Every structure is written in structure tokens, then in C-alpha cells.
Structure 1
């Protein structure tokens, strides 16, 4: 069973615009569909998908695939949800930086799941306040001014049960953490990013109100941080990757290795995003991490070398690359 994740970069600047581009089969959308088809994932988590209550955008994307998935689930994150506070201190309310997570409208930059397996009812962790997370890095000043309002999750955290037809149940734990940049010396986004990543370990520790999965699980999403290079609190993702309850399958690609620009500490073959250089440059920021009880085969990153088949579609679809694992059942 193949489980994949792709940060699509399909999110748009206003409600309905992503659906418009999907319906019109814009070049990025056509390329994305080619990538999805080539990946042949049984379960595919899609990041940076604008949410609508009817799931129309995700359904339209799915309907245009050569082989549509029988099950789809759209998920709304915290982007664009107003806090009612002047979080950025600019003297104005209701601006994108005053939201629970940066966003121009409610529903911007959520997640979607396409699956050949039935999808159970998702459990959202998005209402959890940042100050209430065990070990929270929220500052004292932030607790005083916004502690009773500010949620931890930015793009969102969900626990989503699946029901494989010929095997035991599998739980998806999907998320999209804020980038640990675009702030100042207070490192607000860096601290929030670290806590968003650590939330999965707190869940597995039994430290949250929501129970941890009782069986096999897969964590999939954009952590927005590399364990060896770039900005942010690298120890946060390092701790998650080293957790004995998980497997770091270290998926790799020939395209990532060939795109190395030099100066990296980590292995460029493991990179999952083709960002401009010299900064931030190519990094490993997207992850599919199975529980330690699962047996794996052929993890990978869909990033062919330039000139290879599908290389152009991969580049047009998103700067991020699709990451997958194959689970042996």
C-alpha cells in the first residue's frame, strides 16, 4: 500500500480562485494531475489546498484524474480564522497576520486526502491553544496578550482513520506547520513551528486529551524545516525523526541529488523542495513517517532529473516534490 504526500502550492489569494483554476485545468493543475497519476498512491495527502465546505475543489481535482479516487476528504486549517486581536501590532484588526494563522480568508491553505480506502471521521487538533500544549514554547508576553485565544496549529493537525480492505486499520496523522521564518528576533514562528512538530510526540506520549492511535499510523505533512540545513529549531524535526516509535525511511530521488548547489550539510538526495538559492535553497521539509511496527519497501521522492520523463510536469506542479512510502501488509 503506497501512502504519499504532496504540498501542492495550489492555494490562491481569494476564495473560489483555486476551484476556478482546477475547473479550467490551468497548466499547474494539469501538471499536478500528471504527477498524481504517476505516483499511483493508494492514499495521497495534499497540502496547501484551499478548503470549501462542500469539498468542491478537491472533488473537481479528483474528477479530472485519469483514475479518480473513490474517497476524498477536505480539511480546514486555522489560516484566515480571525482572532479578533491585533496580533502583529500594526494598529489594525482583521488583517492576514491577525488570524489564527496567516491567511486572507477562512479556508485558505488547508489539506485534502484522496484515498482508495474508506476514510473515517477526522479528529481535529486545531482548537488546541498554544499555551495549553505540554512544554509550550509560547512566551510569557504572548500568553498575557493572546494566550486565551491563540491556537497552536497553523495549517492544521488531524488524526484520520483509514480502513484497509485486506489488513488492519491504519491511522493518518496529517499536518502543515508554519514556516520558522518571517518573524523577528523574538522567533515567534520558529517557536511555533517547533511546537507544531512536537505535537505528534505529545500525542503519542498520551499528554493530550485526544487519544493516540492504538495501532499502526503514518505521519504525513509539511514540517517546513530540514533536520540539517536552513533556518528554524532543527532539533524539533531531529527529535521527531529519531523517535523510536517511528521510522525515518529517508526517501530519496535522483533529481534532488542532481540539483545540489553546494554548501549543504544534509544529503541533497533527500530534499523535497526546490526553493531558490542561495537561500533558502533545496531542503527536506515534507515527510511521510510510518510507525515502527510497519514493514516498508521502496520509499522515494518523485523528483526526476532534468530531461527525464515527467520532469517538466513535476517542476510546473509545485516547487515541492511528492514523497511516498510503500507499506508491506
Structure 2
């Protein structure tokens, strides 16, 4: 599909490590200066690429050479050339995996990226899965075999204001008012639980002098639990964190201790695999509606031929195809077009499909 505006950026970058937040990113300049009157069309996309590996460091090793799955993921991205892209299930290993994927697979088309630690695989020291033993993926703050598995990365053709990034990796579930925290299941460990299974990020991107807040997340699947529905309730409240952040809730605090949500009137686009379909699947009823029903949120409801709005192909017959991946812009942005990319291929690199929207800023 032809682009409305061709964006040209200088392919220069300065590696920056944000030591205070314990995360890595790439940036050249913070937001600033006067916004141009020129309208800009950008393509924003999300893709759960399933670039996760069973062992720490394996993704870095794969990306240092030629890997068939990574190449198929890169080909999918190149077919639509988004200006801003969130990849879910991209193992975190500092800057190494993001740098190698950008250099070896994305042809240096994305001079800016942001990635940071996540809760998956980080040992809690608690028996969270109630199996009578400490350690293992079920006792991590977010399910994972090693720290950083199932992580995230944001790639951008526009500068990222890393000084203003906000992360919510350490926000405690107990601090969300009227949460669904299953205290009967977790008992004395309830107050220690982190809400985000990976993390929630607000990544400001500077587009011709204007700031677009990329709200990235990947809530836990609402399954793989028991009658207590601990994962379903966590998924619901992880989505609620995004909804409350958009609404400016003052109870929120980020990993630097700054309180509050998004500033009123800020332009944003919420991205990510939310593991929640509006009508099907195992999520708590109304989970994704917490965001979709917000006055400030637009739902382009992108489609693909033959699959409607579904974005993932899970094992048949249950749950089957679901809509779980979202690109949700704020109401001050004009949606020009949107689509779920569902190519007719014998084998896909992921059980999810790339979703994009063209937005006019």
C-alpha cells in the first residue's frame, strides 16, 4: 500500500545508557524547539514477533548470524516499513539484541531504539506458583526462564526523548485501588507482587518538533492458572494500568518515583499484544474495553481479508483466531488507514500478525 508521506531522517545515533533506571536506549536529542505547522503522516505498528528463546543469550547469538525466523520477521516489517514499531516477545539483553537486529536484519532503517529490563524471569524469592519450592519460571515476577525473556523493544525513525521515558516495572499490584489482586491465593506474598508481567513504558518520540507518547505493554495471557484466575485478573489490571495512565490517574508512580499519569491533551498511541479479545477468549469480561471505551482513545479496528479484526492464530479449536494486538491512537490524531497484515504463507514467523495504522500528526 503506498505511503502518503515519505519520511527522511539522518541515520545518526548516539548510544545512551540510562544508569539510574537500569535500562538501555538509543537517542540523539530530547524533545524541544517549536513544533512545525507541517502535517506529518507516520505509520505506527505493533508485532509480537515471538523472538524469544529458551536460554539467555541465545537470541543475541542468533541475530549475530543468519537466522531464518528473524529474517522472516524482518521481511514482514520491511513489507510495511513502519516509522515507529513495537516488537513484543523480543528477549532483553541490554542493547545487544536490538542493535544486532537493527544492523543485520533491518538494514539500519531505525537509527533510534528503546529497550529496558522487564519482570519476566526475574526471581521473586517467593513461592508464587504455590508448588512448595522456590525458584523457576513460575516464581519469577513475570513468567520466564531467565531475566528478560519475552521482553520488548521500540524501534523508531524519529528521535526518542530518553530523558522523559517512564517505566512501571516495579509498580506494586496492591497500590492499584480496587484491583482484582487475588489475596486468597497469594496470601502473605500479596503486598510484594509487581503488577506488570513485563513492564509498561511511556516512550516519547519527537516527530517534527511534536511529541508522540508511545505507550507500550504486553500483559500476561489470561490463562495457565486455576480457578483463582490469577493470570486473568492480572491481565485485566495490567490493561487497567494503561487505561488509568491515559486518564491521568494520580495513584500511579513510575520507577523513578514520579507520580501521576499522562498529561492531559498529550498525543499518544497505545501499542502491544494485550492478550485480550473484546468478545472471545479467556480474558476477564470487559478487560480490553477499559481502554477501548475511553473518550480519548480511537479504535481504528484494522482488518485483513478473510480474518476480520483478528490478529493472532492460536491453536485450533480453542481459542482459535483472536484480536489481541492493538494500535490505539489518541483522539487528536487523524487515522488515515490501518490494517492487520495476514499474508497467505505456508509458515509464519509468529502466531501473531503485524498491525499498523497511518496517523496524521
TM-score calculated relative to the size of structure 1: 0.90
Partners in 2 of 1:154 and 1:206 — Cα distance?
A: 20
State the match for 1:192 in structure 2. Answer: 234
Give 1:298 deviation, angstroms: 0.9
State the match for 1:225 in structure 2. Answer: 276
Give 1:142 deviation, angstroms: 4.7
Matched, 1:58 2:98: yes
5 Å-filtered alignment, 1:63-78, equals 63-64=103-104, 65-78=106-119
TM-score calculated relative to the size of structure 2: 0.82
Identify the match of residue 236 of structure 1 among 266, 271, 287: 287
> Secondary structure, in 3 states, of the residue corresponding to 2:244?
helix
Identify the match of residue 245 of structure 1 among 296, 314, 320: 296
5 Å-filtered alignment, 1:1-329, equals 1-53=42-94, 55-64=95-104, 65-121=106-162, 122-142=165-185, 144-165=187-208, 167-203=209-245, 204-207=247-250, 208-209=252-253, 210-214=259-263, 215-254=266-305, 257=306, 268-304=307-343, 306=344, 311=345, 315-329=347-361
CA offsets 1:60-108 (integer angstroms, 9 cap, x no match)? 1111223521111122210011111111121211111001011111111
Partners in 2 of 1:120 and 1:211 — Cα distance?
A: 19
> Secondary structure, in 3 states, of the residue corresponding to 2:283?
coil
Partners in 2 of 1:82 and 1:131 — Cα distance?
A: 19
> Secondary structure, in 3 states, of the residue corresponding to 2:207?
coil
Show structure 1 runs of 5+ residues with no match.
258-267
Of 209-218 and 239-248, more deviation after overlay is shown by 209-218
> Secondary structure, in 3 states, of the residue corresponding to 2:322?
coil
Give 1:234 deviation, angstroms: 3.1
Show structure 2 runs of 5+ residues with no match.
1-41, 254-258
- 8 Å contact kept, 2:128–2:186: no
Q: CA RMSD in A?
A: 1.4
Give 1:143 deviation, angstroms: 6.0
- 8 Å contact kept, 1:226–1:234: no
> Secondary structure, in 3 states, of the residue corresponding to 2:184?
helix
Partners in 1 of 2:348 and 2:342 — Cα distance?
A: 12
- 8 Å contact kept, 1:174–1:219: yes
Select the structure that is richer in helix: 1
Partners in 2 of 1:43 and 1:233 — Cα distance?
A: 30
Partners in 2 of 1:151 and 1:328 — Cα distance?
A: 36
